[in-house]
Structure 1
Amino acid sequence: MKIMLIDDEALALNQIQRMLSGYSKLSVVGSFRNAREAIARMPELQPDVIFFDIHMPGLSGIDAVELAREACPGVDIVFITAYQEYAIQGFDLNAVDYLLKPLLQARLDQTIKRLMQRRLYEPEAIQSTAPSRILCFRSLRFQRSGGSPEIPKWRTVKTQALFAYLLHHRGNIVRKETILEQLWPDLDVKQAAGHLYTLIYHIRQCLKQMGINAPIRNMTIQEGYMLDTSSTRIDVDEWENGLRQASKGDWVHSHSELRRLLELYEGDYFQEHGYWWAEDERERLRKLWYQHARSLARFYEKAGMQEEAITIYKRIQDADPFNEDDGLALMKLYMSIGRSEETERHYHKMSQMFSNELQIGLPAKLVNWFEQATMKLSPNE
């Protein structure tokens, strides 16, 4: 197990390095008195564990831990401090352990045992050459390559909310102060920051366990975080790109693909979570679905494929039951193929919904069309 030591006191560094030399399965790969210098060397040295002194000048252990995890994802942290209150902060940052100065060999033995057990039993992330997928339609789910969609086991509701927010802004920097205001508006900045670091840690652990290659990049302490999904497929992106490509082609050849894409719309964007900040995107994607669904229904209608047109219009009406134009188009299609009972049934269904939910009558054009249509039928019935 490779250990890196960071402490601004030379005597403290020498002491812990001497104490660690007694463990045969450990090797100290780097010893630093400056946190920034240590972080710069982490990608090269790739430590498994970092012993951090919390109380340091400049970039402290508390501030540096996020940068360290960015440089070495999955690294374990052990905090060293002479102050009990800093130890509590260490656990807020999901440190494996904390050690109080002056160091005692018996207490260090406990820490090393804990680290060994953790490294021995920690499950590995599933490796795959094919990219995994993140699903956002209806609910947030992960899909490993070749597997079925799974609901991640988030540590808390806020952990899920933070990941969803970073995913919503994927590829862009989300400032830390924005996250703190969103998730912990009533806490002071120091407390809220501790909670934020904890959530980021748990998100990274969840992504690792689920085999999702979407690293959270720390864009410096002052700025914020960015979720990098360049190596992961996102269902909403694939769906929108598919619509764009299908719409470019000849409808005669592309209608089957467009219908497949419309059926992939399982539900609105983050529908089951109801995030208010996602409403604009939710509405945009919903309108995109309606636009292409109506275009496809009209194509089927003009092509004499009434049954296919009816199927599309029925789904549109299920999603938007108060749209009078879609309701009228559906009833006209029923009537055109002699399904007058379906026409009447749908008319009364719409009438009941307008009355019960909107407390108004049906629009005049629906009433007038239905009355004329039934009058034409009555002499033959």
Structure 2
Amino acid sequence: MKIMLVDDEALVLNQIRRMLSGYPGISVVGSFGNAREAIMRMPELQPDVVFFDIHLPEISGIKAVELAQEACPGADIVFVTAYSEYAVQAFELNAVDYLLKPLHQARLDQTIKRLMQKRMHKEDMRSIAPSRILCFRSLRFQSSGGSPEIPKWRTAKTQALFAYLLHQRGNIVPKETLLELLWPELDVKQAANQLYTSIYHIRQCLKQMGIDAPIQNMTIQEGYILDTSRIRIDVDEWEHGLRQVNGLNLTDSHSELRRLLSLYEGDYLPEIGYGWVEDERERLRKLWYQNARSLARFYEKAMMLEEALAMYERIQDVDPYNEEDGLALMKLYTASGRHKEAERHYHKLDHLFSNELRIGLTDKLVDWFEQARKKLPPWRNEETEIG
């Protein structure tokens, strides 16, 4: 475990270094009396833990943590302070622990034990299964071995910022782009402060929920990049699966395609109301629809009526305004002898079009329905209520 020390008191630095030398598996990769110098060296030294004096003269504790986590995402923080009242602030800043000056070996033992346990837990979780980010139906996080959870975002803008970095995953997003996208009404300085604070809170949220997706600050390019190489994303897995299945004959792959289509639980990031997400939302919706329609038609031709019915019912749930699919569903109902369900669906479509779209159904659909009623006496004089 690599540790960096930051304290403006040389005696304290020497004391901590000496005390840490007695622990196996621990190395001090750097000790600094200046916080800004330490932060500049973090990308190079890549410490696992930083011991920070919470009351440095040239920078505040919270600002130091923000900058440190930009420079080295994932590094744990241990605050060192001469004042017990700073202990509460240390935990508010999501530090792993705090140490009071003068330092005592027994108390440092507790801190090192806590750090080691945290490190082992993180490695155990990685060995079980990678964490996941889910985008269909709602934005959710799933830590290794856990259940999907909706993150508690500090603000709606913080949520939107993360969603945009996720949307642009693997690409450097210029800070200027983020400022214009999320805080166009603020001057540059105010917007930048909002951005830095939001980035900090996103990092804390990811860490607390066990999502190993660091946000890296690209200093030269003046931007941020979300590193998702160590996690799984449902949208990526879904599209990868579709690409594999689409190269196969449906006779052999229809079961797998049906499974993949069931993973589309709802729209992409539905809680995000920006134009950039709507374009991607529509693209994924169309991709699902194209594959669902292909599978439904395959089931029709193969006379797998129950499977075809289930597929067309799902298609109509996703896109209830498509009359062609509605007609295909009603034909399948009649072919299966489920005449009342066909009539019920017809009235449902008629109600939907007349009340929401303020238009009538096409002549093709109306004519089919009238002809079907004439051929099948049990349909006559039946009324269907639409709830």
Scaled to the shorter chain, the TM-score interval is: 0.7 to 0.9
C-alpha separation between the residues in 2 aligned to 1:265 and 1:198?
A: 33
| Paired amino acid for 2:358 | Q
Q: 1:372 to 1:4 in 2, by over 3 A?
A: same
Written as runs of structure 1 = structure 2, the 5 A alignment for 1:138-149 is 138-149=137-148
Asked if 2 retains the 8 angstrom alpha-carbon contact of 1:43 and 1:71, the reply is no
Whole-Å separation in 2 of the counterparts to 1:54 and 1:222? 26
Residue 272 of structure 1 and its aligned partner are, at CA, apart by 3.3
Q: Answer yes or no: is the 8 Å Cα contact 2:172–2:224 preserved in 1.
A: yes
Whether 1:278 aligns to 2:277 is yes
The amino acid across from 1:213 in the alignment is: D
Q: Which residue of 2 aligns with 1:226?
A: 225
1:157 Cα offset (Å): 2.8
Question: RMSD value over aligned CA atoms?
Answer: 3.7
1:149 and 1:65 map into 2 onto residues whose CA distance is 27
State the partner residue of 2:85: none
2:177 maps to 1:178:
yes
- Give the share of equivalent positions with the same residue, in percent: 58
Deviations along 1:78-101, whole A, 9 cap, x unmatched? 89xxxxxxxxxxx9xx698xxxxx
Query: Structure 1 110/348 Cα, relative in aligned 2: closer, same or farther at 3 Å?
Result: farther
Find the counterpart in structure 1 of residue 86 from structure 2.
none
- Partner SS for 2:257: helix
5+ long unaligned stretches in structure 1? 7-12, 56-60, 80-90, 97-107
Q: State the Cα distance separating 1:43 from its structure 2 match.
A: 4.5
* 1:177 counterpart SS class: helix
Is residue 334–residue 340 contact of structure 1 (8 Å, CA) maintained in 2?
Answer: yes
Match of 1:17 in 2: 10
Partner of 1:332: 331
When structure 1 is superposed on structure 2, of 132-141 and 26-35 the one drifting more is 26-35
Question: How many Å separate the matches in 2 of 1:361 and 1:19?
Answer: 81
TM-superposed CA distance for 1:165, in Å, is: 1.2
**Alignment-mate amino acid for residue 31 of structure 1:** F
Provide the rounded CA distance (Å) in 2 between the counterparts of 1:337 and 1:33. 78
Q: How many residue pairs align between the two structures?
A: 345
The secondary structure found in structure 2 opposite 1:30 is strand
Please state whether the residue corresponding to 2:212 is helix, strand or coil. coil
Q: Which residue of 1 aligns with 2:263?
A: 264
Structure 2 residues not aligned, in runs of 5+:
22-27, 81-89, 381-387
Q: Which amino acid aligns with 2:45?
A: E
SS at match of 2:126: coil
CA distance in 2, matches of 1:332, 1:72: 57
Distance across 1 between alignment mates of 2:70 and 2:155: 21
Q: Distance in 1 between matches of 2:94 and 2:327?
A: 63
Match of 2:252 in 1: 253
* 2:45 equivalent in structure 1: 44
Taking the aligned partners of 2:240 and 2:351, their CA distance within structure 1 comes to 39
Please identify runs of 4+ aligned residues in structure 1 that moved more than 6 A: 61-64, 115-123
Match of 1:350 in 2: 349
For the 8 Å contact 1:270–1:278, the answer to whether it is kept is: yes
Distance 1:243 1:203, change over 3 A: same
Aligned to 1:102: none
